[in-house]
């Protein structure tokens, strides 16, 4: 059981380049999330999708877009990468968006913007 | 004031001791509280969840919740070197949506 799979695991971009981070889950979860993690700042929510067909902004959405392609897949796009977006990105999913549901995380994508 | 606050540590305890990790939160209406463990270079993994006031035990781990004081803690008994990691406190806000706020984490070192 793979759980939450993120690709790529590592990526180096130049400022201004674009790219899409991919995330897929095989747990039949309804809700999916994208976080970034920077040293000393914990996990910050970028966007989330409560269910297939819906997306909403989190705490730090600027510079990002998302697509909930289907129930399994939730992608994060950087249209014009900036050095401030250098971070570790985690995708997560939960069974439903209800308050009591814990989240399951992928292994992360380590992204460097030069 | 940050919505979820944790002492960044590092917290250092000898092997076999009790490690006590603390977390405070600002949203009084929060309903769900989680502790995640994150090893260096790895993703967070859930170790405990708690929703009601009081204690919840699971093996060597005990989560404690006091909603009146807006305080949640994690006790690790018989600490082992393998417990050395960063522990993240997470709170699901009472927003009607699905917003989870994570603390910045407490680094724990268990000395053999």
Q: Between B7 and A34, where is the model more confident? A: A34
Q: Rounded to whole angstroms, how far apart are CA atoms B9 and B20?
A: 11
Smallest CA–CA distance from B43 into chain A, residue: A107
* Nearest Cβ partner for B104 among A42, A90, A104: A42
Is the pLDDT higher at A96 or at B42?
B42
**Residue A8 in this model has a pLDDT that exceeds 90:** yes
Q: Considering chain A, what is the average pLDDT of its residues? A: 92
Rounded CA separation B93/B96 (Å) = 8
Task: Report the first-to-last Cα separation within chain A, whole angstroms.
Answer: 36
Report the SS3 class of residue B35: strand
Q: How confident is the model at residue A97 (pLDDT cuts 50, 70, 90)?
A: low
Measure the CA angle with vertex A93, ends A60 and B68; round to 5°.
Answer: 70
Length of chain B: 112
- What does the pLDDT read at residue B95? 61
Asked if residue B38 has pLDDT above 90, the reply is yes
Residues of B within 8 A of A109 (CB-CB) are: none
Mean pLDDT (whole number) for B26-50: 93
Beta strand segments in A69-113, E? 74-78, 87-94, 104-105, 109-113
pLDDT digits (tens, 9 = 90+) for A16-64: 999 999 999 999 998 899 999 998 778 999 999 988 889 999 889 999 9
d(CA A55, CA B6): 29
| Residue B84 in contact with partner chain A when CB distance is under 8 A | no
The whole-chain average pLDDT of chain B stands at 92
Q: Which pLDDT score, from 0 to 100, does residue B13 have? A: 96
Residues of B in contact with A27 (CB under 8 A): none
Q: What is the pLDDT of residue A98?
A: 62
pLDDT of residue B92: 85
Q: With beta carbons less than 8 A apart as the criterion, state whether A40 and B104 touch.
A: yes
Q: Using one digit for the tens of pLDDT, what is the confidence trace for B72-111?
A: 999 999 999 999 999 999 998 766 556 788 999 999 999 9
Q: Which of residues 36-75 of A touch B (CB under 8 A)?
A: 40-45, 48, 50, 56, 58
Chain A residue with Cα closest to B87 = A42
The more confident residue out of A106 and B31 is A106
């Amino acid at each position: 059981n793979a759980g939450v799979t993120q690709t790529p695991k590592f990526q180096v971009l130049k400022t201004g380049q674009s790219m899409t981070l991919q995330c897929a889950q095989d747990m039949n979860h309804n809700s999916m999330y994208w976080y970034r993690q920077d040293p000393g700042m914990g996990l910050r929510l970028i966007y989330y999708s409560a269910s297939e067909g819906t997306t909403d902004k989190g705490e730090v959405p600027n510079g990002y877009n998302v697509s909930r392609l289907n129930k399994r897949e939730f992608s994060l796009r950087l249209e014009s990468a900036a050095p401030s977006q250098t971070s570790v990105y985690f995708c997560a999913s939960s069974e439903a968006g209800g308050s009591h549901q814990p989240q399951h995380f992928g292994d992360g994508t380590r992204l460097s913007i030069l | 004031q940050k919505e979820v606050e944790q002492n960044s540590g590092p917290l250092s305890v000898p092997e076999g001791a009790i490690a006590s990790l603390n977390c405070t939160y600002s949203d009084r209406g929060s309903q769900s509280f989680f502790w995640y463990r994150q090893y260096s270079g790895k993703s967070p993994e859930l170790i405990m969840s708690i929703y009601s006031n009081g204690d919840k035990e699971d093996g060597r781990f005990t989560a404690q919740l006091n909603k009146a004081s807006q305080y949640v803690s994690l006790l690790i008994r018989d600490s082992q070197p393998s417990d050395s990691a960063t522990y993240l406190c997470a709170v699901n806000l009472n927003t009607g949506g699905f917003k989870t706020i994570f603390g910045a984490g407490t680094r724990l070192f268990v000395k053999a």
